[in-house]
Chains A and B, each alone.
Chain A
Amino acid sequence: MTSILTADGTPLKDSLYKAEKGRRVKAFLLVAPLLLFVLVSFVFPIFEMLFRSVDNPVLAKNLPLTIEKLQKWEGTNLPDQETFTLVAKELLIARENSKVGKIAARLNFEAGGMRSMINKTVRKVRKYKGNDYKKALIQFDKRWGKVVTWKVLKRIGQRYTGVQYLAALDLKVNADNTIGFQSEDRRIYVKIFLRTIWVSFLVTIFCLILAYPVSFLLATLPLRISNLLLIMVLLPFWTSLLVRTTSWIVLLQRNGVVNDILVALNIISEDGRIQMIYNQTGTLIAMTQILLPFMILPLYSVMKTISPSYMRAARSLGASPLKAFVRVYMPQTTPGIGAGCLLVFILSIGYYITPALVGGRSGQLISNFIAYHMKSSLNWGLAAALGTILLFAVLILYYLYNKIIGIDKMKLG
């Protein structure tokens, strides 16, 4: 088969390609800023986070020779004289470069008390004149004479490691290199992950229950009234998150408006004021109110398109109002329900500021702990591991949603 040629003899396909090329470049240039923005603000940080969760450079970079030597150490007896000398010398170099604090901090995350061991050792090694570093180090701090200490050093010396994921799942490496649970009084993250999912689930359900009738009214009432109603939905939506959260504090606290009214109406006694905030209840109430518009808007946009004649047809064919609603109307709103639920659930699973302010002790979610490790404990590796687990939880949800409902059916308005 010969290809079709244009008047000047070039194949039609090529000249078409040429003609289109200018447009393609133009189109690409138009989206380039957005692409760049997405790359810089979204793709890059996510990879940075993934990398940080396994990256473990502190010891590998600052005590390189010691760590290399330890890789060959079999781990039954204390390492040889040479390793002791190496670690002492390299700690001194690290001190010159102001890296001792980092080494001490990294080791302290793994085994409490190692910060002081390192700092003490460095102070004393500086003054030490002899050559028998093995004896000296053990004399400076008897933990150098324990095999466990060296095992920690070897483990934390690995350039890339999964220990942060173990910690994020309440697991740890035992002394005999097997993986086991953290001790009872240190297990925390699995529980918090489950709580986060549970709270997000409840918020989603509450939002759905509250939003469905409101959206129905919005879609069916005459335009003048529904517009007013829509503004009442949107006004809080446009109000600052912090303002809304602190308003809830004013309303719900022990001496707040709600408790005062209940006391004034003699429903509860002065001593029986209800604790509605600084606990899980507070988190649930505030989050439900704040996320409600994210449920109402997709539902409304779907309901708006459903013609009232379907319901009338169902009624005229003999269905009871309830049956017509359940069998004819509700199935048509599924794309809206799906979109709203997915949106609210994903937003609430990563919610931070509201639980931080009104959650008290029992209403803290996983993002509060991520923030804690970012801001206070400075254990960024653990924060990254927790964040990555959260990210994958959301991806799995998205996948399930796509399998069960289909993402192409989602309508966001």
Chain B
Amino acid sequence: MKLPIIKSAILAGGLALGASSAYAGDALTVVSWGGAYTKSQIEAYHKPYTAKYGTKIQSEDYNGGLAEIRAQVEAGKITWDVVDLEVSDAARGCDDGLFEKISAGSLPNGVNGALPSKDFIPGALQECAVGTIVWSTIYAYDADKYKSEKPATISDFFNVKKFPGKRGMRKVPKVNLEWALMADGVDGKDVYKVLATKAGQDRAFKKLDTIKNDVLWWEAGAQPPQMLADGEVVMTSAYNGRIFNAAVAEKKNFEIVWDRQLFSFDLYAIIKGTPRFKEALRYVQFSTASEQLANQARWISYGPTRKSSIKLISTHATAGIKMMPHMPTAPNNFKTAVLENAEFWSDNGDELNERFNAWLAK
């Protein structure tokens, strides 16, 4: 009685091992941020790619940062192939030799024939990475909680007297310090100039002090809509696509405040030394073409990085609503937008992170 069980267990184990190693050999591993965002990539990039070329694509999630990538490159055991990165990590990883170089010329022209160097918006093409989306950090609130006056500006986010209740914020200094300064009256175009000075940093932390006891800190992008839905917070900073997704797909009455949105790009990069480099490059070329970028915008409200894609943006894949008004780059949303300064954060990130952590622990 016992023996067959053991036998079958070994057999099953062997099969699983054999299957997984064969799979890892053929499939391309694409790493991204999970949740609704990864789903949009699966629908717009992975599935069409597999349909066209036959290669399976394995999706993995991470929370940003270069640690895992560095560990893989330094150990020479590459299991990830393509990674979705923030601008600062893309630049830093490229300097550190963690990514393969991708020349702009190797990318396809836009549907209108425009050269990649003209088609991509400034900043989206880097030495080692290709931009895929324009996203932004905004703050959102549960509209059911506010009957009369609703929060509308960044100052309202910092005004706990007028709008009492807990706020959600990402547990990093980025965005929070910029918002603190702008809520304190600094103009959007001066914010990084002020933040580069000791006095400006003091001012930002002082402003953050005023809401410190009313903040719950989040780390993963999927957390803020959850915190809003659970009523843990009355308003929270978040990535605009996540809030859009909760509002459209899950029918939550969440409202986005676009005032002083901090926008940035996400980029695709190929890990240095991957044995599947050719396949990875073909995947990056495929997914950053005009149609694919426009297609992705049907699944989540992140804008495409190609100008030629903007005209192709249509309606949401399941809800059928027009997508353009929900994009960070829509004229109405973009009025007070500020571009996240990757170079500033690459230079001052370590120092400000340290100070931010010390401030948090106090």
Question: Which residues of A does B touch, CB under 8 Å?
Answer: 97-102, 104-105, 108-109, 112-113, 115-116, 119, 185-188, 191-192, 195, 253-255, 278, 360-361, 364, 369, 372, 374-379
CB–CB B358/A99 < 8 A: no
B351 near A: Cβ within 8 Å? yes
B192 near A: Cβ within 8 Å? no
CB–CB A98/B96 < 8 A: yes
CB–CB B216/A360 < 8 A: yes
Chain B's closest residue to A187 (CB) is B358
CB–CB B95/A360 < 8 A: no
CB–CB B232/A255 < 8 A: yes
Q: Which of A97, A108, A187 has most chain B Cβ within 10 Å?
A: A108
CB–CB A253/B347 < 8 A: no
Contacts of A254 in B (CB 8 A): 166, 230-232
Contacts of A253 in B (CB 8 A): 230, 232
- A211 CB to nearest chain B CB (Å): 31
Known A101-B95, A112-B348, A254-B231: A192·B361 in contact at CB below 8 Å: yes
Contacts of B231 in A (CB 8 A): 254-255
Q: Which of B66, B93, B96 has most chain A Cβ within 10 Å?
A: B96
User: How distant is the Cα of A253 from the Cα of B231 in the complex, in angstroms?
Assistant: 9
CB–CB A375/B67 < 8 A: yes
Chain B's closest residue to A113 (CB) is B347
CB–CB B216/A255 < 8 A: no
Known A185-B358, A255-B230: A101·B217 in contact at CB below 8 Å: no
Chain A's closest residue to B230 (CB) is A255
Chain B's closest residue to A188 (CB) is B358
User: How distant is the Cα of A11 from the Cα of B97 in the complex, in angstroms?
Assistant: 68
- A254 CB to nearest chain B CB (Å): 5
* 7 cross-chain pairs, A with B, having the tightest CB-CB distances, nearest first: A98-B97, A112-B351, A101-B96, A101-B95, A188-B358, A116-B347, A255-B231
Known A101-B92, A376-B67: A186·B358 in contact at CB below 8 Å: yes
In the complex, besides A97-B97, A191-B361, 4 extra interface pairs with C-beta distance below 8 angstroms are A105-B96, A254-B232, A372-B357, A377-B353
B185 near A: Cβ within 8 Å? no
Known A188-B358, A376-B67, A377-B350: A119·B95 in contact at CB below 8 Å: yes
Q: Can you list 20 A-B pairs with a CB-CB distance of less than 8 A?
A: A98-B97, A101-B92, A101-B97, A105-B92, A113-B347, A116-B343, A116-B347, A119-B95, A185-B358, A186-B354, A188-B357, A191-B362, A254-B166, A278-B217, A360-B217, A364-B360, A369-B357, A375-B68, A377-B350, A377-B353
- B101 CB to nearest chain A CB (Å): 10
Contacts of B70 in A (CB 8 A): 378
Contacts of B361 in A (CB 8 A): 188, 191-192, 195, 361, 364
Find B350's partner among A99, A112, A191 (CB 8 Å cutoff): A112
CB–CB A361/B355 < 8 A: no
User: Size of chain B's interface in residues, with CB distance under 8 A?
Assistant: 35
Question: Which residues of B does A touch, CB under 8 Å?
Answer: 65-68, 70, 92-97, 166, 205, 215-217, 230-232, 343, 346-348, 350-355, 357-362
User: How distant is the Cα of A98 from the Cα of B347 in the complex, in angstroms?
Assistant: 18
- B144 CB to nearest chain A CB (Å): 13
Contacts of B350 in A (CB 8 A): 108-109, 112, 115, 377, 379
User: How distant is the Cα of A278 from the Cα of B215 in the complex, in angstroms?
Assistant: 10
Chain A's closest residue to B359 (CB) is A185
Contacts of A278 in B (CB 8 A): 216-217
Contacts of A109 in B (CB 8 A): 350
- A373 CB to nearest chain B CB (Å): 10
User: How distant is the Cα of A116 from the Cα of B217 in the complex, in angstroms?
Assistant: 30
User: How distant is the Cα of A101 from the Cα of B264 in the complex, in angstroms?
Assistant: 22
- A133 CB to nearest chain B CB (Å): 22
User: How distant is the Cα of A98 from the Cα of B205 in the complex, in angstroms?
Assistant: 36
- B338 CB to nearest chain A CB (Å): 20
Chain B's closest residue to A102 (CB) is B96
- A407 CB to nearest chain B CB (Å): 34
Chain B's closest residue to A255 (CB) is B231
Chain A's closest residue to B272 (CB) is A98
Chain B's closest residue to A382 (CB) is B354
Contacts of A364 in B (CB 8 A): 360-361
User: How distant is the Cα of A119 from the Cα of B96 in the complex, in angstroms?
Assistant: 11
- A222 CB to nearest chain B CB (Å): 35
Find B346's partner among A98, A115, A378 (CB 8 Å cutoff): A115
- A332 CB to nearest chain B CB (Å): 43
- B318 CB to nearest chain A CB (Å): 29
User: How distant is the Cα of A360 from the Cα of B213 in the complex, in angstroms?
Assistant: 11
Chain B's closest residue to A379 (CB) is B350
Chain A's closest residue to B97 (CB) is A98
- A380 CB to nearest chain B CB (Å): 9
CB–CB A116/B230 < 8 A: no
CB–CB B96/A376 < 8 A: no
Contacts of A255 in B (CB 8 A): 230-232
- A386 CB to nearest chain B CB (Å): 12
- A356 CB to nearest chain B CB (Å): 9
User: How distant is the Cα of A115 from the Cα of B230 in the complex, in angstroms?
Assistant: 42
